[in-house]
Structure 1
Amino acid sequence: MPDFVDEVVLHLTAGDGGNGCASVHREKFKPLGGPDGGNGGRGGDVVLEVDSRVRTLLDYQRRPHRAADKGQQGQGHNRDGAQGTDLVLGVPDGTVVTSPDGEQIADLVGVGTRIVIAQGGSGGLGNAALASPKRKAPGFALKGEPGDALDVRLELKTIADVGLVGFPSAGKSSLIAALSAARPKIADYPFTTLVPNLGVVEAGDVQFVVADVPGLIPGASSGKGLGLSFLRHVERCSTLVHVLDCATLEPGRDPITDFEVIEEELRAYGEATGVDLTERPRIAVLNKVDVPEARELADMVEPMLEERGVRTLRISAASHEGLRALSFAMAEVVAADRASRPEAEPTRVVLRPRELGSSAFEVKEVGQNTFRVVGEKPTRWVRQTDFSNDEAVGYLSDRLNRLGIEDALTKAGALPGAEVHIGDDDAVVFDWDPTIADTGGAIGPRGTDRRLG
């Protein structure tokens, strides 16, 4: 099992709201105690929050199905049900949240940044809350609403100021180990580095983060090798440093060819994703100049890179030659980039209660004398109704009539006995009787509503 994962699909379910309670107060010498059923508790939300202790998405690959707690059912004596506990999922800094079809939902940058990705369902009202002067003792309560259920894709894009790019075994891991306190795995074979390594570097009063981006070979931008999996980690880097191996013995390899190949992969990746990496400031470092043959090659290559407008430095990660000059060169570019950015304005958070749904609805004719009613409010009301309770069904009929659905069906050409579906998925089917009028809430004694005959 790998110890680093930077892309995963999560299956999230927020908590369902608890059902309301239908209860009548009973006490000696008080035969008409009245309704005292409490409301159901709200279901818990699913929250994604940037946590500094989380560095990978591995835990979510192992357990991709996550659910928040449900709200508890209301009880008698006006006791409301307990709310479900929110499920807070920690994610690494730089996590991008998208829908399964690729639409971006959020870009989570900065420790403490959070988003409610799935909202818990509202609890159902108890019969105490449903009582009114015309319905003094409701014999029913509303059901809780289901919580949101959705799939999201999490993609980690490393937060770093400088990205080290280059062929495998070019010395990127050795360089980041020499510049910082990071201790990546180092060996002389392709793809030694299987995860992005981060190191903090200080040069003067500038502190910045350097990332070692592994797996860049010809064809990386089209999925060859490991490059496609890790090129995304370059996107947030303000500066790119080409680490060029001047001591390679592989046939067909030389610093200029390596530079051109990596540049082409960065350009191709930008065309595929819309993120132009070729305009980022770049520095070329000619590595391993502690080897005499490599130093001679560096003498030949350095003017050629300078002609291309690329600042070039000679270094040796092994002997630490040129590392101080490199760290200050990177710090200069990073400081200039930070200074060019506008100051971030303080974020003002506005808290608003959750919208309970628009009253707008639409009536569609879907067949011969068959209609579908689509709208947030009628769909919610249907979900809240206990269809095993006749009085609750009558209450739903009153609500739908007051919303104007009966008039809309008449205008749409519905005839008596029309089949009416309310909702999109798992719609409830009714046989429509236009002769039934709104009772205004005066339905008479429990179980005697004439509309239920």
Structure 2
Amino acid sequence: MTTFVDRVELHVAAGNGGHGCASVHREKFKPLGGPDGGNGGEGGSVILTVDSQITTLLEYHHSPKRKATNGKPGAGGNRTGADGQDLVLAVPDGTVVLDRKGNVLADLVGHGTSFVAAAGGRGGLGNAALASARRKAPGFALLGEPGEARDIVMELKSVADVALVGYPSAGKSSLISVLSAAKPKIADYPFTTLIPNLGVVTAGSTVYTIADVPGLIPGASQGKGLGLEFLRHVERCEVLVHVLDCATLEPGRDPLTDLETIEEELAQYGGLEDRPRLVALNKVDVPDGQDIADLTRASLEERGYRVFEVSALAHKGLRELSFALAQIVAEARAAKPVEESTRIVLRPKAVDDAGFTITEEDGAYRIRGVKPERWVRQTDFSNDEAVGYLADRLARLGVEQELWKVGAHEGDTVVIGPDDDAVVFDWEPTMASGAEMLGRRGEDHRFETQRPAVDRRRERQRGRDAAEEEFRAFEALSSGRQAIEGDDEDY
């Protein structure tokens, strides 16, 4: 049964924003008291947060699809819909988030570090929020924006100061068990260690972490054995320790050959050339182990390595090795620049940034931009007034003027948005805004019923008087008894 997973593919989907409400306030003696539709709630986001108690991505291996809740729609009486609940996913310290193409989206190091993997959709505005001096009674509301959905890859890279590397059964697990309180599995057969083990070591005033990386063999950087699966766990380490077996009985193997093989695999993996190296000649307590260490030590020192003769079983040389590692770790920490707890990043808008772009593609003009694409997603195309409102917004943004500049003509195809989620229409240029094509902005004939009864009676009487006057004029014209002033212009 799988107990450790350090790489998973995860599909995350944020919640959709709730739709705005188009409502009219009604009460006794006020059958049409004005718009009172509330806004929709915000959709929940999917957030990755580092939890120091989590050590594996196993949970997401079994459940690779995660979705936050949707926002609730608005309601009449200026009632705003409830926001969707954020989905917080706990991940281990050292998790790297990538997209499907391998681009790094976030590197999560440190307890509490978080990253919004999928942002929730905005809630749509209700008609109460859309009302203005020119638009007193909007008969529409904005739709909620769909939540973001994406496929991500999460890779775990252990956050350790020291990495023990070497052949299988070189004694790495034994070393970490005596240097720290870690209790890895130890046995006398290769590939006993199937997962990286972490331990905490205290040497004087320095406390550091040490990782036991599963055994490497020739071809590990190309995927042979377990090396490729766990080489990523040495990337964050400050120092590498070559654990060389001085008591191996395998033909063709000796400490120098093992060192050269492991170094070649590390070089092919890449990115570890600047890490300091130490060499631990292990198992010097067994017969011939000390003799092999004595023969090998001079050659290793000539190559520039600091060499330590150790024995995990006899606890020989462990103190010297531990304090040497502590010194290197302390120096590496001191050399790192101090990061400020709060970093403010300013990204000013470019002077010539119009907020959108127009490109010609296969005879069509494609409009891309955050605002135009969001406005399209929020528009209810079954409502003519909502479509007119969209036309107004696009015109104010300068889309129509820019279409003229790029050479668009009436009837040309215009596309707003990406290929998989685009709105296509034939362009009909107009000097007036879209809402004016549908009717005068700010007028609503439903409000006619709210005028005082006296005014309504006077208007009906004026209508009857005008009809009677027209009838008398028609009779006079047909009998020839009088002429109507200006009748040639009116008829």
Q: One fold, TM greater than 0.5?
A: yes
Query: 1:333 corresponds to which letter in structure 2?
Result: I
User: Following superposition of structure 1 onto structure 2, how do residues 197-236 of structure 1 map, counting pairs within 5 Å?
Assistant: 197-236=197-236
Specify the alignment match of 1:391 in structure 2.
Answer: 385
Whole-Å Cα distance in 1 between the matches of residues 339 and 110 of structure 2?
13
* Aligned partner of residue 160 in structure 2, secondary structure: coil
Matched, 1:142 2:142: yes
Contact 2:135–2:443 (Cα < 8 Å) also in 1: no
Q: Which string of whole-angstrom CA distances, capped at 9 and with x for unpartnered residues, describes residues 233-279 of structure 1?
A: 11111111111111111001111111111111111111xxxx1x233
Q: Which residue of 2 aligns with 1:117?
A: 117
Higher mean C-alpha deviation, range 237-246 or range 394-403: 394-403
User: How far is 1:401 from its partner?
Assistant: 2.3
Shift of 1:423: 1.8
- Residue 168 of structure 1 and its aligned partner are, at CA, apart by 0.1
CA distance in 1, matches of 2:89, 2:148: 16
> By how many angstroms is 1:223 displaced?
1.5
Aligned length: 437
- Report how far residue 349 of structure 1 moved: 5.6
The 8 Å contact of residues 95 and 154 in structure 1, kept in 2 or not, is answered as yes
Q: Specify the alignment match of 1:401 in structure 2.
A: 395
- For 2:207 and 2:38, the matched residues in 1 are separated by 57
Closer/same/farther in 2, CA of residues 236 and 416 from structure 1, 3 Å limit: closer
Tell me the CA shift for residue 180 of structure 1.
1.1
1:313 paired residue number: 308
Question: Which deviations, in whole Å up to 9, do the C-alpha atoms of 1:137-180 show, x marking residues without a partner?
Answer: 11110001111111221111111111101100000001111111
TM-fit CA distance, 1:194 = 0.7
Conserved? CA contact 2:172–2:212, under 8 Å? yes
Tell me the CA shift for residue 430 of structure 1: 2.2
| CA distance in structure 1 between the aligned counterparts of 2:135 and 2:274, rounded to whole angstroms | 70
1:339 Cα offset (Å): 2.4
What stretches of structure 1 of length at least 5 have no aligned partner?
Answer: 353-357, 449-453
SS of structure 1 residue aligned to 2:414: strand
Given that 1:142 and 1:385 are in contact with CA atoms closer than 8 Å, whether structure 2 keeps it comes out as yes
Specify the alignment match of 1:180 in structure 2: 180
Give, in whole Å, the separation in 1 of the partners of 2:281 and 2:379. Answer: 72
Three-state SS of the structure 2 residue aligned to 1:48 is strand
Which of the two has greater helix per residue?
2
**1:34-84 deviations in whole A, cap 9, x for unaligned?**
110000011111111110111011111111111111111001110101111
What is the aligned partner in structure 1 of residue 54 from structure 2?
54
- Aligned counterpart, 2:429: 434
Partner of 2:86: 86
CA contact (8 A) 1:391 1:447 kept: no
Residue of 429, 435, 441 corresponding to 1:443: 441
The answer as to 2:367 corresponding to 1:373 is yes
**Displaced runs of 4+ in structure 1, greater than 6 A?**
none
In structure 2, do the counterparts of structure 1 residues 346 and 377 end up closer, same or farther at CA, with 3 Å as the change threshold? closer
Please tell me whether residue 340 in structure 1 is matched to residue 338 in structure 2: no
* Structure 2 match to 1:451: none
Matched, 1:63 2:58: no
In 2: Cα distance, 1:404 partner to 1:239 partner: 58
Report the counterpart of residue 130 of structure 1 in structure 2.
130
Alignment map for 1:234-273 (pairs within 5 Å): 234-270=234-270
1:320 Cα shift?
1.3
Amino acid in the other structure paired with 1:43: G
1:325, distance to aligned residue in structure 2 (A):
2.0
Secondary structure (helix, strand or coil) at the match of 2:202 reads strand
Shift of 1:410: 3.1
How does the TM-score come out when normalised to structure 2? 0.85
Q: Secondary structure at the match of 1:301?
A: helix
**Displacement after TM superposition at 1:402 (Å):** 2.4
Distance of 2:222 and 2:331 partners within structure 1: 33
User: For residue 95 of structure 1, what is the aligned residue in structure 2?
Assistant: 95
In 2: Cα distance, 1:260 partner to 1:334 partner: 24
1:300 partnered with 2:298: no
Q: Equivalent of 1:284, from 268, 279, 282?
A: 279
Calculate the TM-score normalised by the size of structure 1: 0.91
The superposition leaves residues 368-390 of structure 1 with CA deviations (integer Å, 9 ceiling, x where unpaired) of 5x433332222211111111112
Q: Which moved more, 1:119-128 or 1:370-379?
A: 370-379
Q: 1:362 to 1:326 in 2, by over 3 A?
A: closer
Could you tell me how far 1:367 is from its partner in structure 2?
4.6
* 1:331 equivalent among 326, 333, 341: 326
Alpha-carbon shift at residue 446 of structure 1 (Å): 5.4
SS of the aligned residue for 1:72 comes to coil
Taking a change above 3 Å as real, the CA distance of residues 244 and 385 of structure 1, as seen in their structure-2 partners, is same
> Is residue 49–residue 112 contact of structure 2 (8 Å, CA) maintained in 1?
yes
Q: Which amino acid aligns with 1:376?
A: V
Distance 2:410 2:338 in 1: 65
Matched, 1:160 2:160: yes
- Does the 8 A contact of 2:35 with 2:128 survive in 1? yes
| 1:412 counterpart = 2:406 | yes
Contact between 2:133 and 2:442, CA under 8 Å: does it hold in 1? Answer: no
- Contact 2:137–2:442 (CA under 8 A) maintained in structure 1: no
Determine helix, strand or coil for the equivalent of 1:292: coil
Distance 2:240 2:429 in 1: 71
SS of 1:143's partner is: coil
Q: CA deviation at 1:87?
A: 1.2
Bigger CA radius of gyration: 2
In the alignment, is the contact (CA less than 8 A) between 1:286 and 1:312 conserved in 2?
Answer: yes
Q: Which residue of 2 aligns with 1:13?
A: 13
Further displaced range: 152-161 or 326-335? 326-335
Change (3 A) 1:367 1:240: closer
Alignment deviations for residues 341-391 of structure 1 (CA, whole Å, 9 cap, x no partner): 233333246799xxxxx75223334355x4333322222111111111122
Amino acid paired to 1:419: T
